[in-house]
Amino acid sequence: MTAHRFYLPPEHCAGDVLRIEGREAHHALHVLRVKRGEPVVVLDGVGHEFACEVAETSRETLTLRVAQKHSIPSLPGPITLLQALPKGKIIESIIQKSVELGARRIVPLLTGRVVTQFDGKDAANKREKWQLVAIEAIKQCGAAWLPKIETPTTIEQFLAGKETFDLSLVGSLQADRRHPRVCFQEFQARHGRLPQGVAVWIGPEGDFTPGELKIIQASGALPISLGRLVLRVETAAIYCLSMLNYELQPAA
């Protein structure tokens, strides 16, 4: 049977003895009912996996003895998903799949066609909730890297930060869109390597407005095709992340 996985922030993962407290400990002790001597796995979200044995249990604390520590490399080019917020809880599903497909950062976007809007406090609360969704996802799938979920922002606010990416792509229905593989081939032909930082922009239901697409492309994003069909928001995100995961895998 697969050992239970737990998340512990990296600053709490030094040494040969680890202590799990709070929410994770409650789940381990009172839901999963782990016992002394049981093997468990701890993920720190920054590329390390700890094979442990339960040394002691108390009502609110789980003490673990580290048997082995494994370092797991990330994809060569960190992926940033810039995702316009969809309706309802679809964003939670997108976050879960983003974890499985190697995204290192998710930026929820408030765009003209986004139905849900937040004030500052609501946005911060949502970010905390979505970060917990990502934590649960790494525990479920065993991913060693925990993506950072950012506070919802507008396109203009994000671009004001002047961030740069080796390769920036935007899902598009425009006539000048290209197959994403062509973008990768052209990058490798120019630089002789894979991109070391990739961003992909995904619009909301109804897509980005023409004005928003103009701003995004003016920042350097290349319009790409997602196939002949018009995809749902969550399908478009999964499509793009799957493609990026494949293209960024180093050759064996």
CATH topology of domain 4-71: Ribosomal Protein L25; Chain P (2.40.240)
In tens, the pLDDT along 145-184 reads 999 999 999 999 999 999 999 999 999 877 788 999 999 9
pLDDT at 57: 93
Q: Are 236 and 90 in contact (CB under 8 A)?
A: no
* CATH code of the domain made up of 79-248: 3.40.1280.10
Token digits for 228?
A: 């002949």
pLDDT confidence of residue 131? 97
- The number of helices, as runs of H, and strands, as runs of E, in the chain is 7, 11
Residue 250 has pLDDT above 80, yes or no: no
Indicate if the pLDDT at residue 1 is higher than 70.
no
Are both 4-71 and 79-248 of the same fold? Answer: no
More confident residue, 124 or 80: 80
Residue 108 has pLDDT above 60, yes or no: yes
Considering the chain, what percentage of its residues have pLDDT values greater than 70? 98
Q: Taking all residues of the chain, what is their mean pLDDT, rounded to a whole number?
A: 93
- Tokens at 108, concatenated: 């929820």
Please write the tens of the pLDDT for every residue from 199-214.
999 999 888 999 999 9
CB atoms within 10 A of CB 218: 9
Gap between the Cα atoms of 91 and 97, Å rounded:
10
pLDDT at position 252 is 54
More reliable by pLDDT, 187 or 227:
187
pLDDT-based confidence at residue 140 (cuts at 50, 70, 90) = very high
- Whole-prediction pTM: 0.92
Domain ranges of the chain: 4-71, 79-248
**Which secondary-structure segment (H or E) carries 41?**
strand 39-43
Q: Of 75-79, 120-124, 238-242, which one has max mean pLDDT?
A: 238-242
The predicted structure's pLDDT at residue 206: 86
pLDDT of amino acid 234: 95
Question: What are the beta bridge partners of residue 68?
Answer: 51
The whole-number pLDDT of residue 117 equals 74
In the chain, the N- to C-terminal Cα span, in Å, equals 30
